[in-house]
Amino acid sequence: MDSRMSLYHQKKNNNWQKIVKKYKWLIAIIAVLFVSVLGYVQYENYQNYLIDKYEVKGIMISQSNAYIDFVSLAQSGQNFVYIRASQGATYTDDDFSDNFQRSQGSGLQVGTYHVFSTQSNIKDQLKNFTKEVGTDYGTLPPMVDVEGDLSTSQIEKLSNFIFLLHRYYDTNVVVRSSYHIFTHLDDKIAHDVQYFSQNINNKRANFIEVKNNRKINIDGSNVIVNQVAFNGTTAGWRHYLVKNQDR
């Protein structure tokens, strides 16, 4: 009996070894897929943790984003939106007017932004932005988006543009840039600029970019957006709004 059982187990083990040998590549692929899916789930959970720790959340949008229902966006837990209006001296966002008009009455705080160009005259850029936006830049300070690194002379040019924008609207200006650029802006505008950082660990920033290309569900549809946040509490947000809207 023991001998028969031993032969049975040996035969069973041999069969398993043959199966494993025959399908080892398939088993390896399944294992890799399992680890990849597990890693992705853990990554998404971590990203959601980073986002959820901010009490006041918002998004940045342009014409490259899909159609957004702003009322549904507000109901999804977002508090504000920055809408691109222009870039450089001649380019304007095709969807700006529609986005801005539809955002009104949504319950969101709304801001507008201009993408700064080192190649264009700053007075022409100011004219382009103010012509597109008009007198109503929203309930948040206008923002200047700076892409990439700038030389010393380009930072000086940026400083002069921010000064013109501040003087035109008589309000603070938010600057989205690297920390190096922000800390090297001209002292003459130091009290009139606020910082929008792409580094979530920057304690000085008023706004933080939490996750670019985040998929959020708005009214049953998945939309890819640039997820950002106010770098403070809900009470701090209320104070921030009052302080800026009084200017």
Q: What is the pLDDT of residues 175-204, one digit of tens each?
A: 999 999 999 999 989 889 999 998 888 889
Please tell me the pTM assigned to this model.
0.81
Mean pLDDT (whole number) for 94-119: 97
Return the pLDDT at 222.
85
CB-based contact 100:112 (threshold 8 Å): yes
Mean pLDDT (whole number) for 39-59: 68
Task: Name the band, by pLDDT with cuts 50, 70 and 90, for residue 39.
Answer: very low
DSSP state of 190: G
The owner of tokens 């569900």 is 217
Q: 3-state DSSP call for residue 64?
A: coil
Distance CA 74, CA 130 (A): 27
Beta strand segments in the chain, E: 57-61, 80-87, 91-92, 109-115, 143-145, 173-176, 193-197, 207-218, 221-230
pLDDT in tens, 56-73: 999 999 999 878 999 999
